Structure 1
Amino acid sequence: MTQEEKVQKLTNSMANFVGYIGKKLPDDVIAKLEELGQKEDRPLPKVLYETMTRNQKLAVSLDRPSCQDTGVLQFWCKCGTGFPLINELEALLKDAVVKATFETPLRHNSVETFDEYNTKKNVGKGTPTVWWDIIPNSDQCEIYAYMAGGGCTLPGKAMVLMPGAGYEGVTEFVLDVMTSYGLNACPPLLVGVGVATSVETAALLSKKALMRPIGSHNENERAAYMEDLLEDAINKIGLGPQGMGGNYSVMGVNIENTARHPSAIGVAVNVGCWSHRRGHVIIDKDLNITCTTHSEVKL
């Protein structure tokens, strides 16, 4: 197979993958929504959870996106230096998004800032967003794909706390964001929290946290404990599904962190809505693809 043929093969596979995750939620999200629906004892939120489940079945059977806002595509590439298409990867991901836009189809969501025109291809300056983690001595590539819709993007917020604010300040920041903007993001939410030194490192970590499976925990036991505390606290706010009230407002809270400057705590929040459209694939050097998030996908 020539290099050009390899590029075309992976482009087609990623276009199919992008279209698929727009129509079918990850296995862990589906399971969590069903769990919350079974645990909920209030009539209205219970009906809403049942509606979400029905929405998912219709999206698959009618071959349509599960939400009309198919978002701006974002990719996180953990790519080995020996992966054969590392040089072509970012360009082919853009081509895959264009292909998926017309074949799925996806809503046109890439508007050139300041010029204020819609490209109608879901690509533009810096979109889709591609983040890179380069892995030495590896010939495989992991790709996380995420559809960042307008609703789940609205609560995004980052700041550096004053010295002395401590982890109580982190908690207050997260709950302030949830009480101020949580309704806009179509609960129940997956809440990603980044804790680092500066706003940009915290913000990137909070988005990375959304790629983690629901029910997973930070490897640090204190951070994992804080995840549970924040989940309980946000549930007690009572947002409920679609902000209509209920016992459960989140699918989980995922915290990602780095070491930080001793006098500052950068903190950020990003959220995924109930229709949390993300996917994860592992591609080996022969372009064989394994999907870890969707059990039935064929690429």
Structure 2
Amino acid sequence: MNQTEQVRLMTDKMAKFVGYIGKKLPDDVIAKLSEMRKQETSPLAKTLYDTMFRNQELAVQLDRPSCQDTGVLQFWVKCGTRFPLIDDLEALLKEAVVKATFETPLRHNSVETFDEVNTKRNVGKGTPTVFWDIVPHSDQCEIYAYMAGGGCTLPGKAMVLMPGAGYEGVTKFVMDQMTSYGLNACPPLLVGVGVATSVETAALLSKKALMRPLGSHNDNPRAAAMETMLEDGINSIGLGPQGMSGKLSVMGVHIENTARHPSTIGVAVNVGCWSHRRGHVIFDKDLNATVTTHSGVQL
């Protein structure tokens, strides 16, 4: 297979993958929603969860996206320097989004800033967004694909706290966001929190945190303890499914962090809605694809 054929093969596989995650939620999200549904006692909360699962059934049966807002596509790429298509990867991901837009189909969500022109292809200046991690000496490529919707992830918040605010200040910032825009993001939510040295590093980490499997924890015991405390605190607000009240408000809280300058604490919050449409696929050097987030998928 020559280079052109390889690019076409991976493009087709990624277009299929993007379309699939718009219709079927990851296994861990389905399992968590099932667990949360069992814990609710109010008739309204139970009805809302039943509707969510009916939505999932119909999306698969009718072969169409489960939410009308198929988001702005974002990719986290962890690519080895010896992966054969590393030079072509960003361009083929863009082409895969165009292909998925017409084949899935996806809603046209890429509008050129200032010109206010919808490209009608879901691509534009800087979209889809591709975040890179380069892995020396590796010949495989891992890709997280995510549909960042206009009501949940995209309205994230970030700021830099003075060090005197401490981690109490981080907690207050997160809780303030959850009691304001959290209602508009279609709970139950997955909450990503970035704690770092500046606005942009914290913001990227808060989004990256949403790619982690549900039930996972930060490697640092103190950060992991804060994840649990924040989850308990946000659940106690009582947002419930779709913000209509209930026992549980979040599927989890994930914190990602870096070291920081001693005089600043950068903090950011991003949330995924109940329809948390993300997927993870690993390509080997022969372009064999292994999907880890959705069982039974062949690309």
Q: Shared topology, TM-score over 0.5?
A: yes
Task: Give 1:161's aligned residue.
Answer: 161
Alpha-carbon deviations, 1:243-263, whole Å to 9, x = none? 101111100000000011111
Q: Over residues 5-46 of structure 1, what are the superposed CA-to-partner deviations in whole Å (9 max), with x where a residue is unaligned?
A: 000000000000000000000000001111100111111111
Residue 153 of structure 1, CA deviation? 2.8
| Structure 2 residue 258 is matched with structure 1 residue 258 | yes
Which secondary structure does the structure 1 equivalent of 2:211 belong to?
A: coil
Residue in structure 1 matched with residue 234 of structure 2 by the alignment: 234
**C-alpha displacement of 1:155:** 4.0
CA distance in 2: counterparts of 1:273 and 1:296, whole angstroms:
24
Q: For residue 136 of structure 1, what is the aligned residue in structure 2?
A: 136
SS in 2 for 1:131: strand
Q: Deviations over 1:116-147 (max 9, x none)?
A: 01000000000000000000010000000000
How far apart in 1 are the matches of 2:153 and 2:139? 33
> Could you say which residue in structure 1 is the equivalent of 2:267?
267
Matches within 5 A, 1:1-299: 1-299=1-299
Contact 1:235 1:249 in 2 (8 A): yes
Structure 2 gaps, min length 5: none
CA apart distance, 1:163 = 2.2
User: Aligned AA for 1:217?
Assistant: H
- Of 67-76 and 148-157, the range deviating more from structure 2: 148-157
Provide, for residues 70-110 of structure 1, a one-character-per-residue CA deviation record: whole Å limited to 9, x for no partner: 00000000000000000000000000000000000000000
Deviates most, 35-44 or 120-129 = 35-44
Alpha-carbon distance in 1 for matches of 2:141, 2:150: 28
Structure 2 CA distance for aligned equivalents of residues 76 and 294 of structure 1: 17
Per the TM alignment, residue 296 of structure 1 is displaced from its structure 2 partner at its CA by 1.9
Identity of matched residues, %: 82
TM-score, normalized by length of structure 2? 0.99
CA contact (8 A) 1:77 1:131 kept: yes
Give the Cα separation in 1 of the matches to 2:171 and 2:5. 50
Task: Please give the per-residue CA displacement for 1:141-184, whole angstroms capped at 9, x wherever unaligned.
Answer: 00000000101135400000022100000000000000010011
Contact preservation (8 Å) 2:81, 2:134: yes
Would the alpha carbon gap of residues 182 and 155 (structure 1) be closer, same or farther in structure 2, given more than 3 Å must change?
A: farther
Q: Is the contact made by 1:154 and 1:181 (CA closer than 8 Å) also made in structure 2?
A: no
- State the alpha-carbon separation in 1 of the partners of residues 60 and 261 from structure 2: 47
SS of aligned partner of 2:59: helix
C-alpha RMSD of matched pairs (Å): 0.6
Unaligned ranges ≥5, structure 1: none
Question: Counterparts of 2:162 and 2:117 in 1: how far apart (Å)?
Answer: 40
Local SS of the residue matching 2:270: strand
- What's the offset of the Cα at 1:298? 1.6
Q: CA deviation at 1:186?
A: 0.4
Query: Could you tell me how far apart the structure 1 residues matched to 2:154 and 2:247 are?
Result: 23
Aligned length: 299
Q: 1:147 to 1:154 in 2, by over 3 A?
A: closer
Cα distance in structure 2, aligned partners of 1:23 and 1:229: 33
